[in-house]
Structure 1
Amino acid sequence: MHLNLNPSETSAEGLVERAQDSTAPEGLVFFHANEGQPLATPWQVAALRAGMVARYDLPPGWVLDCACGSGIQLAAYGTALQRPLLGVELDEGRARASAVNVRSVVEHTRSSDTTWYRSSRIVAGDGTDAEGVLKALNGPQQGVAFLHLDPARPRNSRTHALEEMQPALHRVLEAWAPHFTGSATGPAVLLDLSPRLTLEQRKEVESIVDQTWPGIARTWEWTSRGRGRVDRLALWLGGVADDNAGRRFVRVPPSLAEAPVVLRSNQPPADLEVRHHPPKRNEHVSILDAALLESGLMADWLARVAPGDSGRWATLEGRRPQLHHDRPMQLDVGDDLLVQATGRVVELLAFPLDETTVDRLVEVALQHRLSSVKLRFDLDPALQPKLQGSLDRQLKRRHGDRAGFVARHPHGEVLLLCVCSNPSDETPLI
């Protein structure tokens, strides 16, 4: 049984989960149902993705989301694409929340009189039953211009099988394939998948896609909001595949007012290896974005910001990939979002850092005119804030004019005190 909901007429009565999205414009509040808030796409990510889809020339028809949840991504598509929306959600409470949220976004953008909004519908029902969904609309039939699918997956699990994602990919693709509007570039599909998928699972996804559309163009996209974590992993297909990239990395900026950092490549990922080397003064150390490394686009980015300097990877594991190199990086606008810290080694500290030695670090930092020093290596979680707080308090009272950080050399019990690069401070490597 499918229930047809008109966003302009759906009541918010009974929807008790209501929250302000910290990434959304002030006043834009979203409803959720049945603990749907933790699963909802942040508005900033939804708006950014919708803007990227809007760059493609889509045929006429529905913007379809077969598992629309709270409808935030669907609403973002509506405002960006100006196309009629068709959302399908198995849970009736979430379907109602989706309809209300679409209306909220439309009212916020003053688009209530648009044709696309008046034609939009949310259906509570099975997203794999294309015929049942279309029959429930009771109106003029049209094809699908674009399909978005963000299947549910197990929560609080580091790994899971494709079979645990619902609705199942193959069932959705098979059900809706006959209903796409014809296009020279093929069906436009975006599969928003778990960021925890392994390489073998990604190949399995491609195999499922090829069963419906053999050889369709495809682009894998890794999206990160920072903290070295991949937040979204998506496969863009057919009409929305990137002609110039088989892989793409998107770093979401801190605010909607800033442009994202987007990296693309059609080349296979480069093999990166750790190289053992002794600690050395005046070399440069950069702690880079672990999410960028996971996307396989690190080497492509380094070729631009560190041309001719292949560097030496000290560690490729964990949250702090650490690269040692001979010259400062040539960072452009936005590149700082991909760098946790970068600077020149000015001291090799041969003592462990604890509450009894932090004053020694302060003394060395003052010799190099440092006004702040951040600890960029793994420490006991109970000890780290104490040490960082002590450094901040002591250095704040002095008259330093440079920033620095401490990294750990992974192949020896040595800490590296680094100063942010300044061309006037550069000295030859020793």
Structure 2
Amino acid sequence: MPPPTALQLSDDHFGIAEVVAPLLDDSVEGAAELTAASPPRLHQTAQMKRLSTPWAVCLTRAEQLAQCRLADGIVLDPACGSGMQLYAYCARLERAGLGIELDSDAALLAAANGKRVWDAHGGDWGAKTQVVLGDGTDAAAALAAAGLPDRPVAVLHVDPARPQDAQRHSLDEMQPPLAELVGSWADHLAEGPVGPAIIIDLSPRLSDAQRQEVGEILGARWRDSPITWEWLSIGRGRIDRLTVWFGGAADPRSPARMLRLLPDGSVVRFAGEPVAEKADHTTSPKPGQWLTIVDSALLSSGLQGQWLRKAISHRTESRWLRIDGRRPLLLTDTALRMDDPSVSAFVSTTGEIQARTKLPPTEDGIESILVSARSAYLARLTLRCTIAPGLQPVLQQALDKGLKIHPRGKQGFLINAETLDGEGWFVCREP
């Protein structure tokens, strides 16, 4: 491998790259401030765009990091890609950065992108920010190429490339490997009162054992440093980001943090001690009770208790019927306080139980389900239960056709749940 090469931020680098990387069409040119609604116009290949962190998420992290007490020094991203997250940190913190990229075209584009963010948002950080074409796990070589001292790094952020299904791969298969990366940079990190500030983006599908392994890699070097695990969701019933915030970047009071990023860029947060939940199948849901599908990230974070205290009165009975998968399911005796944004932000759908169907959702059982839906005066009944992919559109079409008699009726959904007497299917009417 050739020796690492340091690149200053410059638009000229784009003309050297041997890839097609047009500017993002939906970006805003010349924004005067960092906002979720004004992403910088960056050069990205199709693969870069697919793998890059959304600008709103980049800003949310930068805002959180700005609240931390950091040592003096630069921001480092040893696998910077397009540079979007690195430059969000640099612009918000007003600190110089160092990006490292193994791919030559990606490094050139990252250097060009840094100039665009610097031009758009101003500040002095860009003059001392560099991108090194080289190996992110060779700290000494990268620092020498950039002409930096031995301990210049105040914040290390990395989003390693990883296999699509990280549960079936070891952490060493991520690139750069975490243990090797941390070992290489450990002696070059400026440490504050609780250790260095480290932020690592990980697969949302990381297993509990792998999360423990990450904690052990960091704790082996800095045993007493705090750690905060953060789950972030932008909706759609899935965990979008899992990030570990360590040392000076962590919140010492909160081992777990749950963020729901709303379309307008605002954030709903819960933070604190995680509590493991258990599914309760000791009773069967009844008409008049409410079933709610909740954002899966909430249960994964272990902070569902904080959310539940806002969602219902302490006098209201509740139990979790399902705690894993993409459709965690909550049963309550009353409706949720959906007028509270911190409650509704984590709700996929909620409805009052109208009936338990006599037959499961099959082609033979569709008429029985329609009887219950018509009795509830529903204009539409959306299938939100486990059904074979090929059968789902057939049944949904049959339901849509059968409910045309109530065009002004309410919306509803069909959901399955384990109960005291086996699996059941419930027709629910949305508020």
After superposition, residues 25-424 of structure 1 pair within 5 angstroms as: 25=37, 28-32=40-44, 35-107=47-119, 109-111=120-122, 114-138=123-147, 143-156=152-165, 158-253=167-262, 255=263, 257-266=264-273, 268-306=274-312, 307-309=314-316, 311-331=318-338, 332-354=340-362, 358=366, 361-362=369-370, 364-392=372-400, 395=403, 398-411=406-419, 412=422, 414-421=424-431
Matched, 1:16 2:16: no
> Tell me, which stretches of 5 or more residues in structure 1 are unaligned?
422-430
Letter in 2 for 1:312: R
Letter in 2 for 1:300: Q
Aligned mates of 1:31, 1:164 — CA distance in 2: 28
Aligned mates of 1:159, 1:51 — CA distance in 2: 33
- Match of 1:313, SS state, is strand
- Match of 2:293, SS state, is strand
Letter in 2 for 1:132: A
Q: 1:53, CA displacement in angstroms?
A: 1.3
Q: Mean Cα displacement is larger for which, 27-36 or 117-126?
A: 27-36
Matched, 1:7 2:9: yes
Give the match for residue 32 of structure 2: none
The answer to whether the 8 A contact 2:291-2:331 is kept is yes
**Cα deviations by residue, 1:200-241 (Å, 9 ceiling, x for unpaired):** 222221121122212111111112232332222211112121
The answer to whether the 8 A contact 1:74-1:85 is kept is yes
**Cα deviations by residue, 1:337-374 (Å, 9 ceiling, x for unpaired):** 31122121122221343456656645543443433332
Aligned mates of 2:214, 2:150 — CA distance in 1: 30
Q: 1:158, CA displacement in angstroms?
A: 4.3
The answer to whether the 8 A contact 2:337-2:343 is kept is no
Aligned mates of 2:404, 2:152 — CA distance in 1: 63
Identical-residue share of aligned pairs (%): 36
Aligned residues: CA RMSD: 2.8
Letter in 1 for 2:381: V
Distance change (3 Å), C-alpha of 1:394 and 1:118: farther
TM-score (normalised: structure 2):
0.86
TM-score (normalised: structure 1):
0.86
The answer to whether the 8 A contact 1:54-1:81 is kept is yes
The answer to whether the 8 A contact 1:366-1:400 is kept is no
**Cα deviations by residue, 1:6-44 (Å, 9 ceiling, x for unpaired):** 112542122314463879757844334594333222222
Q: 1:318, CA displacement in angstroms?
A: 2.5
The answer to whether the 8 A contact 1:290-1:318 is kept is yes
- Match of 1:320, SS state, is coil
**Cα deviations by residue, 1:281-301 (Å, 9 ceiling, x for unpaired):** 112111222222122222332
Aligned mates of 1:390, 1:196 — CA distance in 2: 35
- Match of 2:297, SS state, is helix
> Tell me, which stretches of 5 or more residues in structure 2 are unaligned?
28-35
Q: Mean Cα displacement is larger for which, 36-45 or 234-243?
A: 36-45
- Match of 1:30, SS state, is coil
Distance change (3 Å), C-alpha of 1:393 and 1:116: farther
The answer to whether the 8 A contact 1:17-1:35 is kept is no
Aligned mates of 2:300, 2:230 — CA distance in 1: 11
